[in-house]
Amino acid sequence: MLKVSNLSVNYGDTPVVKQLNLALDRDEIMMLVGPTGCGKTTILQALAGLIPITEGEINLGSWSATATKMVPPEKRNVGMVFQDFALFPHLTVEQNVCFRLKNTELADHWLKLLGLEGLRRAKPANLSGGQKQRVALARTLAHEPAFVLLDEPLSNLDAALKDSLRWEIRNALKTAGVPAIWVTHDQEEALSVGDRVGILNRGRLEQIADPETCFAEPANRFVARFLGEASFLPGQLQGQDVLTELGNVPGKAMDCASGQVELLLRPDDLSLVAETDKGNAVVDWVRYEGGSKLYCVTLDSGHSLRVRVSHEQHSKPGERVSIAITTNHPLAAFAQQADIAG
Ligand SMILES: Nc1ncnc2c1ncn2[C@@H]1O[C@H](COP(=O)(O)OP(=O)(O)OP(=O)(O)O)[C@@H](O)[C@H]1O
């Protein structure tokens, strides 16, 4: 098990990673997300032993690193996958995967499993981005790492390829049975691929939990907004229910919220019906998304909400609509004054 306790990293006098705690199970994939500059790459570099740590401990059973006890990268048995693939351009696919490898049987195994059998003699320059990343992954896994760090492995690839390759990478990591920390900028990728998601803000983990919990029960408004479209509607928490201008809905108090709260509404929690002159809201703008449309509406009370509906909905800016809450699951309710992180 990879265990990180109270890890802090400073650059000079500037703290960049603050008191990070996490533990990864044997074959667990943890996605690390957060705004640019929040310290994601620094965490990976610290775990790999590429930079010194200021405080805390990184432990993998066979070794333990602290601020005063540096364990060099080659002793950590870490596998790294980068966004720019980091392949040797003068070597073939096979030579890249077998580089410094004693047991080439494992190279054969991963070349086959990742669909690279026919490309053994190709040079990186003749491969597509997706093929290059498969080679990088095959090379990493063929070396039987104790844990794998992936730094935005899909960010140089086009959208269609990203979608299929993310599953290939996940399946390969699960087959290898190694713990992995995967940094991404893509919230959808984080929620769909990870066993758990860690949301980082200014060097601190705001929440670490399974994807459903992070999305439906975010620890605070920062996490709520970071993981997707989020609207907040005032209401009164009474027992298990929240009384709002759109009716009573089941609520779940976050941050010990009580009394006056704000309900987290995702665009899919709401419905929108076109009206001629009745209704309870006006359309501000609409964004076409292909299979769906995202509407921004203002309720007659002045509160703004975002609603996702079928692309067959044709209401335009300025037109009246009826908005209702359609979800049955309890919605996260935050204390009205508790917007510390957001
Ligand atoms: N070698 C360095 N010396 C000093 N400051 C650094 C160094 N490397 C990174 N930083 C700073 O540390 C902070 C965290 O950087 P880091 O690259 O870890 O963030 P990140 O979350 O990976 O960002 P991005 O999403 O943009 O890749 C940033 O403010 C960055 O400017």
Q: ipTM, 2 decimals?
A: 0.97
Q: Is the CB of 41 under 6 A from ligand 1?
A: yes
Looking at the chain, list the stretches that DSSP marks H as alpha helix, in order from N- to C-terminal side: 40-48, 73-76, 93-98, 104-113, 129-142, 159-176, 187-193, 211-216, 221-226
Q: Pick the atom of ligand 1 nearest to 185's CA.
A: 25
- Report the pLDDT value the prediction gives residue 296, as an integer from 0 to 100: 98
Q: How far is CA 65 from CA 24, 51, 150, 198, in A?
A: 16, 12, 20, 22
Going from N- to C-terminal start, the domains of the chain cover 2-77+145-221, 229-335
Cβ contact 2:25 at 8 Å: no
Cβ contact 105:78 at 8 Å: no
Domain covering 2-77+145-221 assigned CATH 3.40.50.1820 in the classification: no
- Report the pLDDT value the prediction gives residue 337, as an integer from 0 to 100: 62
Cβ contact 323:308 at 8 Å: no
Phi then psi for residue 70, to 5 deg, are -80, 130
Q: Is the CB of 247 under 6 A from ligand 1?
A: no
Q: Is the CB of 11 under 6 A from ligand 1?
A: yes
Q: Is the CB of 38 under 6 A from ligand 1?
A: yes
Residue 233 in this model has a pLDDT that exceeds 80: yes
- Per-residue pLDDT of 305-319, as tens digits, reads 999 999 999 999 999
Nearest to 137 by CA among 168, 101, 95: 168
Residue 271 in this model has a pLDDT that exceeds 70: yes
Q: How far apart are CA 69 and CA 48, in angstroms?
A: 14
Q: Is the CB of 244 under 6 A from ligand 1?
A: no
Q: Pick the atom of ligand 1 nearest to 11's CA.
A: 4
Residue 14 in this model has a pLDDT that exceeds 50: yes
- Considering the domain 229-335, what is its CATH architecture? Beta Barrel (2.40)
- Per-residue pLDDT of 73-101, as tens digits, reads 989 999 998 888 788 899 999 999 998 88
Say what percent of the chain tops pLDDT 70.
Answer: 98
Q: Pick the atom of ligand 1 nearest to 38's CA.
A: 21
Atom 1 (ligand 1) nearest CA:
11
Cβ contact 330:240 at 8 Å: yes
- Per-residue pLDDT of 29-77, as tens digits, reads 999 999 999 999 999 999 999 999 999 999 998 899 999 999 999 899 9
Q: Is the CB of 310 under 6 A from ligand 1?
A: no
Model pTM score: 0.90
Q: What is the mean pLDDT of the chain?
A: 92
